[in-house]
Amino acid sequence: MGSVRGEDQRAPRTIKKALRSSCAVAAAIICGALLSARAQAQTDAASTTPPPSIPANLTPFGAEVAGNASGSIPAWNGGLAGPPPCFASSHGRYCDPFADDQPLYTVTAENVDDHAAVLSPGQRALFAKFPDSYRMRVFPTRRSFANPPAVYAATQANMARAVLADGVLKKAATGLPFPLPANGAEALWNHRLRWRPLVTERVSAQFAVAESGDFAQTQEREFVRFDYGATDYDLQAARGILSRRLQWLEQPARQAGVGILIDDVADPGDFARRAWQFGTGDEQAKHAPNLGYDTPGIGTDDLRSNDQIDMFFGPLDRYDLKLLGKQEMLVPANSYALHSADLPYRELIGRHHLNPDFARYELRRVWVVDATLKRGSVHACRHRRFYLDEDGWQIRVVDNYDNRGELWRVQEAHTVMAYDRGFELPVAETVYDLPGSRYLVQGLNNEEPEVAYPEMAADDFGANDLARRGRKLRLAAQP
């Protein structure tokens, strides 16, 4: 971060000339002292203008420290900054530090109008669509979010250096880029760059559930290298690459090895050349410039687009974005029950939605961002509305509207605090297709093996690695 300069650091020419003359006739040590004194005076003047900082009444990520007036949202006290006592017996799973909490109330189709002010239009539509089965159990709000201190420090540093110019991110590093967002684009950048460990690996199950309740199950392996989160990250040195995401299908066997590699980048103009795919009959990965935006995700039965990975992924350039402010809202959070190894998939996957007996909702303050498709741009979603948790900038709910302007699909992210690693982890992401009475749930690993956080080199995340691992998975699935 450069120092703040005064209005004019150049001395008048007459003064410079006088100093040079003095130097010619005076001892060198006296001249040096004069010049040194002038430089020190300029430094002192510049230091009187402090760099921007996050106000004391806000958390390191710009959320309100205080709770709400009714006390239904408590004050933030630092979150889960370390493993709770139950972690000692969790066998590698994230145990529930709030297992003793009981629901405060349950929202149903019968009383949904009483809670309409704290529900999105998409959430209300789910009650209307499935009045006999859909409900929300609402628990005490636990503001569990926390990140490592170094991420907070980097967020503070970004206050004076992060810039968003014509949609291109510049100078930000490691921490949240815009803890005090001025517009909708800055708010969504916060979600995209919320901190995660440098490398994560996950094996998870994905279910595409038809209106009848029948489903297609796939197993997915994912590697993510979150370059931006490194403590020594430099945007220019990284050539604008923020993260690299590799995904393969492992099951069903006929699709084993099918995969994609997509880089998230600071400049949306670079996105098309940073995507590759590996198909069932391929031997090498192929460049796929149209892989982003509303291209359907692998194994999703066309229920999720690639820019709905991680709730929203990739460039923002096809939408006009407006920050509408904050509101209180019922959103999924602290969803440890959905992550339990004791919960088999057959009990979780309902006919039209997840089994509501295992979902947890809390009253949170959320930022609201409205996205409208730009004139001349093409996307399956003409209008989207994002609801981002103020504490960690996780997108919790998205209402998606089709090209007729009709409410189409509703996304929800059920998360836990990965308290031993200091980041928030989605354990189930859903996409509800309202007209088709279908839904997708992804990211489940209740019955999958836990995967350690690997140490992977930079060259493990290229197009050749996509193909190499894809061929290996294909071979392993053969009878």
Which tens digit of pLDDT belongs to each residue from 406-458?
999 999 999 999 999 999 999 999 999 999 999 999 999 999 877 665 666 66
Which of 124, 99, 62 has its CA nearest to residue 329?
124
Backbone angles phi, psi at 207, to 5 degrees: -125, 125
The mean predicted confidence, pLDDT, of the chain is 90
The two three-digit tokens of residue 268, written as one number: 């949306």
CB of 328 within 8 A of CB of 295? no
Instruction: For residue 398, list its beta bridge partners.
Output: 386, 411
Per-residue confidence (pLDDT) for residue 30, from 0 to 100: 34
User: pLDDT tens string for the chain (479 positions)?
Assistant: 332 223 333 333 433 343 344 433 333 433 344 334 434 434 444 455 678 899 999 999 999 999 999 999 999 999 998 899 998 776 668 999 999 999 999 999 999 999 999 999 999 999 999 999 999 999 999 999 999 999 999 999 999 999 999 999 999 999 999 999 999 999 999 999 999 999 988 999 999 999 999 999 999 999 999 999 999 999 999 999 999 999 999 999 999 999 999 999 999 999 999 999 999 999 999 999 999 999 999 999 999 999 999 999 999 999 999 999 999 999 999 999 999 999 999 999 999 999 999 999 999 999 999 999 999 999 999 999 999 999 999 999 999 999 999 999 999 999 999 999 999 999 999 999 999 999 999 999 999 877 665 666 667 899 999 999 999 999 999 88
DSSP β-ladder status, 383-389 and 395-401: antiparallel
Q: In sequence order, what are the residues at sequence separation of 6 or more whose Cβ sits closer than 8 angstroms to the Cβ of residue 283?
A: 467, 471
The two three-digit tokens of residue 108, written as one number: 């149903």
- Give me the domains of the chain, ranges plus CATH numbers: 1-50 (no CATH), 85-477 (2.50.20.10)
Q: Which long-range contacts (CB under 8 A, 24 or more apart) does 277-280 make?
A: 277/466, 278/248, 278/466, 278/467, 278/470, 280/254, 280/255, 280/474
Per-residue confidence (pLDDT) for residue 455, from 0 to 100: 62
Record the pTM. 0.89
Burial per residue of 416-453, b for 16 or more beta-carbon CB atoms within 10 angstroms, e otherwise: bbbbebbbbbbbbbbbbbbeebbbbbbbbbbebeebee
Which of 218, 165, 164 has its CA nearest to residue 192?
164
CB of 243 within 8 A of CB of 461? no
Which of 32, 118, 28, 112 has its CA nearest to residue 330?
118
Sign of CA dihedral 305, 309, 314, 315: positive
DSSP β-ladder status, 105-107 and 395-401: unpaired
How many CA atoms within 13 Å lie on the side-chain side of 220?
A: 23
Per-residue confidence (pLDDT) for residue 449, from 0 to 100: 76
Distance CA 120, CA 409 (A): 12
Per-residue confidence (pLDDT) for residue 457, from 0 to 100: 65
Per-residue confidence (pLDDT) for residue 255, from 0 to 100: 96
Look at the block and give the residue holding tokens 């017996």: 89
